Chains A and B, each alone.
Chain A
């Protein structure tokens, strides 16, 4: 299954999803598409002023442009998500999208989508870390693997 991860740039979450035979929906693939696209030159992410306008699909114009720009990046990931794992209050090194308002909106949209969803707190000690990985693995095992879906 296509599993949305949050933080969307978490390499650890992305790796875990792959290990259990699913496809992680991570921001790296969307940024990769933009950076590799020909004809665009708006470094560092090649996001242009048109992207926040695409984000209007999710948030009105009074929502800051940085939120809407991020939402335009998440759009294909949100649309394709069949399941999701959301880690609450992670440390920055675990993965980070920088903006608390975007976090709130993405988490809401995932809950509203009514797909299999695992929400869990970031661990603060070793015991919690083991439990954290265990919960994620059990959740991923409960999902139908990508190759079996069709």
Chain B
């Protein structure tokens, strides 16, 4: 994100953004990651013939324009480093085009693509992490190719719920710290101090530091980090590293405290990804509240869920308020806490499946990371829905910190 780098050229293929009043927000997010938006030129004839060529008939002319612009990129008429496909939230026709255009560009060119469905409430802040991941994938392929951690490095992941830190030496984790996020800087200090203490090293001995998560900019500045990176890139790298699946395809799922990430990875580099963050009912917070209601710790919820049967509990809503109420009602109706725990895990997994996994190519191995991956009932529910084996690597909860420490080792020579 330094200004000395050439700006990344991102093609904007969108329908409705200017009429939703969010073009300014898109432009602002793009500016913050030192990129420029490009609007591929097309002829009227290209728009008129695109349905036949693309094989998808649509009623809205702006969606025909999106497809024609995609073709212009694929045929090399316009040169771009990355593509942003965006359409209105709740438009079915646009959702079909968005998904197919993304797949088309990704498969034909390998250019990184992200897609987003916006409302008038979309802000630059919401888009920033996605744009950052998109430009990093386009700009820093050599950094992302790193497969081994070297030297003595550290990573801090300042998440919305918890702050994690690790210290790594010569490709091994030698210290870990994990604290709830209360005040961003203080929590980061505490987690980092714990990791350093366990590793038995002093802060000044650390050769390079990477930060990630919601608080990455603040803690990055505070600790003078060598790498400040969003969690899509870092988690992809950390997941394939910890799971020992650095080569080939993989799918990384991370159900976080505030948002979920589903990332399709090739050779450790994120390709297509989605980030969900609209509904708390699809987040780790839902499971935390279920555990509280059942009177068990969050660390016990998973084992309890594995013993239960989700189908025994009827849930009327995914909502964190009404869904929890359904669970409470089912307890009153005689269901066991194990069944309720299983139903909660199934509910979160089902939302991930319905809302996010439809938009990426789910390719094995499927790796679940983040603290929620340790709630055993959750990977089990995902396995049942996807009908594939889910890998939960050791130290899955430290994924962001490990990814940051791994990538930070690329900065040691500097």
Residues of A within 8 A of B (CB): 41-45, 47-53, 62-70, 73, 91-93, 96, 98-101, 103
Q: Pick from B23, B47, B87, B120: contact of A92, CB below 8 A.
A: B47
The answer, yes or no, to whether B18 is at the interface (CB within 8 Å) is yes
Q: Tell whether, in the assembled complex, residue B120 and residue A62 are in contact, meaning their CB atoms are under 8 Å apart.
A: no
1/0 contact string of B83-107 vs chain A (CB within 8 Å)? 0000111110110000000000000
Residue on B nearest A71 in the bound complex, by CB = B19
Query: How far apart are the CA atoms of A53 and B24 in the complex, in Å?
Result: 17
Considering residues A42, A50, A67, A99, which has the most beta carbons from chain B within 10 angstroms of its beta carbon? A99
On chain A, the residues within 8 Å of B333 by CB distance are none
- Given the contacts A62-B90, A65-B119, A92-B44, A52 and B20 also touching, CB distance less than 8 Å: yes
Known contacts A92-B47, A98-B62: does B18 contact A64 (CB below 8 Å)? no
**Is B60's CB under 8 angstroms from A98's CB?**
yes
Residues of B within 8 A of A62 (CB): 90
**B248 within 8 Å of A by Cβ?**
no
B59 CB-CB contact with A under 8 Å: yes
* Docked CA distance A92–B47 (Å): 9
Is there a chain A Cβ closer than 8 Å to B186's Cβ? no
Are A99 and B60 touching (Cβ within 8 A)?
Answer: yes
In the assembly, what is the distance between CA of A68 and CA of B403, in Å?
A: 42
Q: Which residues of chain A come closer than 8 Å to B64, judged between CB atoms?
A: 92
Asked whether B59 lies within 8 Å of A42 as measured between CB atoms, the reply is: no
A64-B89, A98-B61, A100-B59 given; A69·B23 CB < 8 A:
no
B201 within 8 A of partner (CB): no
User: Which residue in B48, B65, B88 is a CB contact (below 8 Å) of A66?
Assistant: B88
Q: Is the CB of A69 within 8 A of B24?
A: no
Q: Are A64 and B21 in contact (CB under 8 A)?
A: no
A62 and B62 alpha carbons, distance in the complex (Å): 20
Is B118 engaged at the interface, CB distance under 8 Å to the other chain?
A: yes
